[in-house]
Structure 1
Amino acid sequence: MSRNASINRWNIASRVLAALVGGYAVAYAVTAFLAVYLPLTRPDRVVFSSLVSFAVWTAVAIYVFAARSATRVWLLIVGVTALLCLAAFLSGDWRVRP
């Protein structure tokens, strides 16, 4: 096996892991963020944000394989997840935390 084939396999494995685990993390962060900040009643916020999470996970999976580099994908996934989770969990109204 050549060095190029080994690098390509690790690149694909990294992207698959980013699509599965990273997509789940971003979908959870979007769900938590929307469940806190949408101007709806609590049950409606939870249902709507849960339904949106499926579209977000799909969009992340598509982006992972369309991006130029796996490093850029991981940085974006970690950044978006951290930003949205911090915004959701550090909201001013403590009774609406997810």
Structure 2
Amino acid sequence: MTIGVRYRLGVASRAVAAIFGGYGVAALSAAVLALCLPAAFGMARSEAAMTGTLASFAIFAFAVMWVFAARTALRAWSGLVIVAAPLALLLLLLMRATGGAA
């Protein structure tokens, strides 16, 4: 495999990680915040959902920057997984504890 092809595959992998991985991390964080904020700060559920959604835009932007700042595409994917896995676990626990979106 030539260096040019390898470079292009790395950039393509980072783009996929930035788009889909960044979206996944942002969506998970929005859901976790929407479930955590009412209990932690006594916030109304609608305000917590709006706050989580607004925060997810910044989180998505940060995830995209992280993906393209990482040294390798593998490190970029690993960073997203390291953030997404605890968020997914926390979301599952919160949904069980609070009864989900009901």
Same fold (TM over 0.5): yes
Deviations 1:29-80 (A, max 9, x none): 1111111111211111100000111111111111111111111111111121
Aligned pair 1:35/2:39, yes or no? Answer: no
Show structure 1 runs of 5+ residues with no match: none
> Partner of 1:19 in structure 2?
18
Aligned length, in residue pairs = 96
The answer (yes or no) to whether the contact 1:35–1:46 under 8 Å persists in 2 is yes
> Partner of 1:57 in structure 2?
60
Give the TM-score, by structure 2 length: 0.86
> Percent identity over the alignment?
35
Query: Which runs of structure 1 show a deviation greater than 4 angstroms over 4 or more consecutive aligned residues?
Result: none
Cα RMSD (Å): 1.4
> Partner of 2:84 in structure 1?
81
Show structure 2 runs of 5+ residues with no match: none
